[in-house]
A and B are shown apart, each in its own frame.
Chain A
């Protein structure tokens, strides 16, 4: 039987759930840096955290990572939506105004 398989070059396929350019080789979506949206920064209390990874699963921007023995927030992409703080079963994530921190500046020259 004749095969009707459509051959599309891999780099021409859209990334899953993505409408922006394909991820860069380092696995980040550098054409959509959402860290500049953040008004409230999620701060993880590592004493309370049980490493259940709920925040890691639910973060819509994949901005939470497991770093060694701790959970960590990638500030370049965290848009401060607060979903992680809402799903954390032990209340280990607090939302703190971004302007309270001197660091973590994601100053973009151009938005998009």
Chain B
């Protein structure tokens, strides 16, 4: 089995649940378009019906078939995306990262300012900030897509598209063209790609 690239998206429950799921789904869908093998799913043990509880969404991308179908958590994420940047203070979001990792935050603050809150920077290669709420001031709150149901509001129409675009630039896990063809708001994804501030460590 080839290498599996793990992507973990963190967000605040209910208010950002849908946007976080969209980030994972859009990146996975874009990778699928490029012929990769993918998985995208919500974290099973979170309690996502509580407002502001930290929740996780996962995506996996690989060049060959992904065998671990029944592993419900990403234990060694390479790309970590925070829809709620404050979680950098609340949770060890880099846990399990093995090096050469990317951290992408939805914030207007600078990467230097965020680095103050990260005690161990060794697994990080890049940290990037993008002000998704400024680029696309829309966070869709919708539960219709959870548990595999139909997405009534469309996938990737709000800040999730911006963050997916930023992740594409920072990590190169997918190309911006394939991402733009998979999100509901390609313009927002492109702006996220163009306007993200990256700091290499």
Contact = CB atoms under 8 A, between A and B. Distances in A.
Main SS of the interface on chain A? loop
A112 B52 CA distance: 15
B185 interface: no
B86 interface: yes
B91 A111 contact: yes
A111 B107 CA distance: 23
Q: List the 6 closest pairs (A to B, CB-CB), nearest first.
A: A36-B90, A37-B52, A39-B86, A98-B86, A105-B89, A108-B91
Contacts, number: 57
Interface string B20-46: 000000000000000000000000011
Size band of the interface chain B makes with A? 20 to 34
Interface string A85-112: 0000000000001110010111111011
A105 B46 CA distance: 21
B47 interface: yes
B130 to A, nearest CB: 15
A108 B84 contact: no
Contact of A37 (B53, B85, B117): B53
A108 B85 CA distance: 15
Interface residues of A, number: 20
Given A81-B51, A99-B113, A111-B91, 14 more contacts: A36-B87, A37-B54, A97-B86, A99-B85, A99-B107, A99-B117, A102-B116, A102-B117, A105-B89, A105-B117, A106-B90, A107-B90, A111-B54, A112-B45
Main SS of the interface on chain B? loop
B12 interface: yes
Contacts of A102: 116-117
Contact of A36 (B45, B46, B91): B91
B109 interface: yes
